[in-house]
């Protein structure tokens, strides 16, 4: 949506008469400077949609504009452009961008740091205003042009923000929608509270996840509405905070429904590094057969072979009836002959001759030559 004429209602005129398209609702939601400007224009009944920006390089302005749309910033290498970006961030009261500039300035030369540092530090403790965030059953939201109907309640929102943050809304609010002149979207099968949290994230890019259950629910919602940034934050929380001995098997099972390869690999890696601890959890017995089988036959688990074998027997005994298989059948499927794990078991039991009388071991080892 950056410099995209779709829904555009304001144009910036930069040096050399270069035009940059933007959207008032995005600018006003991110910058109190623009919010005040547009509110003043509205109060004066001004319809001027062209804003001249004198003596500003296009590259500098585009850095600032892209940050307001995406929360991402690619700082220019050129010192003078960086200085201009700093001035624009100051002028437009973009506190988060100023924080990003602090990090970028820390990597510059001592002379450049000294020049830029004092200009930005004094601005870092201010707070932004969220007057444009969606409000429930309140039509007095500046620039609102679409409503979300959820469980009989109405949120007044902005097409531009919804479509720029979510592929779901971008598709829904596409060409056919614009032609139909509809202004209401009915959200079904999603709880009201979840939509409220979702909208807060879309407008602020901030969310506080406190529990594993919250992370899993938000992950499903982020998938449904195609919000990549929220998916990433949920997966980061689960990987960094929620994966432990007691939860990893349950989470690993969940990844099959969530369809996330990154989280699946993180669960698999944790499980294989901590096999014995995980095998003592209640979730281990519920672990999907293909996941456990793949881990066992990968040859990367570094644990005592006899203890591993006992854990596998315990899993097979618990799941045999559920899978409609005999104990021997499921054990043989989990540990097929000529796999690396069976070779390890073979050498282990050869060192303990008494174990050769175990019919289960003899069955497994019969094909492991």
| CATH topology identical between 10-121 and 135-239 | yes
Supply the pLDDT for residue 353: 39
What parts of the chain have a pLDDT lower than 70?
Answer: 1, 46-48, 99, 102-143, 175-181, 299, 336-369
On whether the CB atoms of residues 94 and 64 are closer than 8 A, the answer is yes
The confidence score (pLDDT) of residue 120 equals 44
Dump pLDDT digits (tens) for 312-339: 889 999 998 888 988 888 887 777 555 5
Write down the pLDDT at residue 304.
78
**Greatest distance between any 2 Cα atoms in the chain:** 95
Instruction: For 10-121, give the CATH class.
Output: alpha beta
The full set of domain ranges for the chain reads 10-121, 135-239, 243-365
pTM for the full predicted model: 0.55
**Strand 153-157 and strand 135-136: pairing?**
antiparallel
Q: Are 69 and 164 in contact (CB under 8 A)?
A: yes
CATH assignment of 135-239, among 3.40.50.1100, 3.30.710.10, 3.30.70.3340, 3.50.50.60? 3.30.710.10
Q: What is the pLDDT of residue 108?
A: 60
């Amino acid at each position: 949506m950056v410099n995209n004429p779709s829904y555009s209602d304001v144009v910036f005129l930069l040096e050399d008469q270069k035009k940059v398209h933007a959207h008032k609702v995005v600018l006003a939601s991110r910058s109190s400077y623009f919010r005040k400007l547009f509110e003043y224009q509205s109060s004066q009944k001004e319809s001027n949609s062209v804003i001249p920006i004198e003596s500003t390089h296009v590259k500098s302005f585009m850095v600032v504009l892209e940050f307001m749309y995406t929360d991402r910033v690619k700082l220019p290498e050129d010192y003078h452009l960086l200085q201009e970006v700093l001035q624009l961030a100051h002028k437009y009261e973009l506190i988060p961008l100023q924080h990003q500039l602090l990090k970028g300035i820390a990597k510059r030369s001592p002379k450049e740091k000294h020049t830029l540092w004092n200009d930005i530090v004094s601005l870092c403790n201010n707070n932004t205003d969220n007057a444009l965030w969606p409000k429930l059953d309140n039509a007095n939201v500046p620039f609102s042009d679409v409503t979300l109907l959820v469980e009989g309640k109405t949120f007044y929102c902005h097409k531009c923000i919804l479509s720029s943050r979510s592929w779901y809304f971008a598709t829904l609010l596409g060409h056919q929608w614009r032609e139909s002149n509809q202004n209401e979207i009915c959200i079904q099968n999603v709880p009201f509270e979840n939509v409220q949290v979702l909208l807060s994230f879309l407008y602020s890019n901030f969310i506080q996840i406190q529990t594993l259950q919250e992370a899993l629910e938000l992950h499903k919602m982020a998938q449904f509405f195609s919000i990549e940034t929220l998916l990433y934050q949920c997966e980061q929380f689960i990987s960094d905070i929620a994966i432990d001995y007691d939860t990893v098997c349950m989470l690993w099972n969940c990844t099959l429904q969530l369809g996330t390869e990154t989280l699946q690999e993180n669960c698999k890696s944790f499980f294989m590094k901590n096999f014995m601890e995980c095998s003592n959890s209640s979730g281990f017995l519920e672990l999907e057969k293909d996941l456990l089988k793949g881990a066992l036959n990968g040859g990367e688990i570094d644990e005592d072979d006899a203890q591993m074998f006992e854990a596998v027997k315990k899993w097979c005994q618990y799941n045999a009836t559920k899978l409609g298989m005999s104990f021997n059948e499921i054990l043989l499927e989990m540990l097929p002959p000529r796999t690396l794990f069976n070779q390890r078991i073979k050498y282990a039991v050869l060192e303990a001759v008494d174990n050769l009388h175990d019919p289960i071991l003899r069955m497994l080892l019969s094909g492991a030559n």
